Amino acid sequence: MTEQSVTHVYAGSVVDLFCGAGGLSHGFLLEGFEIAAGIDTDEDCRYAFEHNNEAPFIQKDVASLDGETLNELFKPDLPSVLVGCAPCQPFSIYNQKNADPQWELLGEFARIIIETKPLVVSMENVPRLMRFREGKVFESFVETLERAGYHVDSQTAFAPDYGVPQQRSRLVLLASSLGEIELEQPTHDPSRHETVSQAIKNLPKLDAGGVDPEDALHRSSRLSPLNLKRIQAATAGGSWRDWEDELVADCHKVATGRGYASVYGRMEWEAPSPTITTQFFGFGNGRFGHPEQDRAISLREGAILQSFPSDYAFVKPEDPVQFKKLGRMIGNAVPVLLARAIARTIKQHLKEFA
C-alpha cells in the first residue's frame, strides 16, 4: 500500500479503460472507490496497476471489448463508474500528422459507454482534443453520450489548481445519467500552487547516472561530457540562449530551431514544474534539468511531480529499471491529485442522487 490513507467505505465500483500504470485509478482508490479492474494493451503496466490499486489488470484491446463483458466486472451492489484516458498522442501538439489511427479509440470509448450504460463516466485527455479535426471528433463523442441520456460537462482543468506541482492542463469530461455534474472548484489558488521545491527538494542528492540505494526509481540518466558542460552552464529558468556559442547545439543556431528555448533547461524551485512528458528523464528533451544538481530529474522525481505517492511501485523489486519504459508509464499517467478531484466530484454527485 501507499503512504496515503485509503477509506474502505466504497463510494462506487470503477472500471478504468486505458488504465496504464494506474494514476487515474489510484486517485479513485484514495477517495474511497473500489477499483473493479484496469484494462490496457500495455503488459508493462500490469505490476504497477495491480500492486498499487488492489485490482486486476486485464490486457485487452478496448476495441475488442463489449458491454456485457464489461458489466460483469462491476460490483453489482455499487454505483458503476467508467473512467478512462484514451491515448492522447493523436491529439497532442507534438503530433503534427493527425493521421494516428489511435484517435479512433475515442469512438470505441463511446461505443462501450452506450453498451455498458454506467451511471457515471469520466474521461481525461489533452485540451487539444476539443479542436481536433475542427472539433468534430469531440463533438461527436459528446453528442453520442447526450443522445444516450447523459448529462455532459467538459472543461479544461489546470493541474496546479488541484495541488499538482506541475504546469499541466487537461480536458476533463464528466457524464452522468443521474443529473447535472460539474468538476469541483479548484482547491489551490495561484498563491498556493505546489512548487518543485515542495515536491522534490528533500530527495537524496544524485550525480548524473546515479541511483539512490534506498529507492531504485530515484535514478538519473547519464550525461555525455558535452551535456554535462551544458547543464553546468544552465541556470534555473534560463535557456541555452544564455550559453557560450560552443555549447549551443547546431540545430538551435538555425532559424527553425531558435524557438525551442525550453530544451536543455533547468526547472525552477519556486514554481510548478513544466509538463512531465514521456521523455522527462532526458536533459535535452525539455526543461527537465534539476534546479541545482547537474543532472536531469530522476524517474522518482518525475513520478512525484505527477503527484504519485513517493512509494508508488512501478516495477517488481527484482526487475530492471528501464528509463524508456518507466518514462512512458509515468509521463502518460493522469496526475493522481487531479484524479482525486475527479473522484471527489463523482462521490459527491452520487451522494446527491442516492
Which residues are designated catalytic? 88
CA 173/CA 152 separation, integer angstroms:
7
Please give the single-letter amino acid code of residue 14. V
319, three cell numbers: 526487475
Q: Mapping DSSP to helix (H, G, I), strand (E, B) and coil, where does residue 332 land?
A: coil
Output the DSSP codes for 237-249. T--GGGS-GGGS-
Q: d(Cα 61, Cα 22) in Å, to the nearest integer?
A: 17
Q: How many beta carbons lie within 10 A of that of residue 305, not counting itself?
A: 28
User: Pick from 160, 166, 201, 193: which is nearest to 291 by CA?
Assistant: 201
Q: 144-163 as b/e, with b when 16 or more CB fall inside 10 Å?
A: bbeeeebbbebeebbbbbbb
Q: In this structure, is the dihedral angle defined by the CA atoms of residues 143, 148, 149 and 150, taken in order, positive or negative?
A: negative
Under DSSP, is residue 305 helix (H, G, I), strand (E, B) or coil?
helix
Q: Is 119 left (phi over 0), alpha (psi -120 to 50) or beta?
A: alpha
Beta bridge partners of 289: 266, 296
Tell me the H-state helices in the chain: 23-30, 46-53, 67-71, 105-116, 136-147, 196-200, 225-233, 299-305, 323-331, 336-352
Give the helix ranges, DSSP H, for 103-234: 105-116, 136-147, 196-200, 225-233
Element (H, E) at 16: strand 13-17
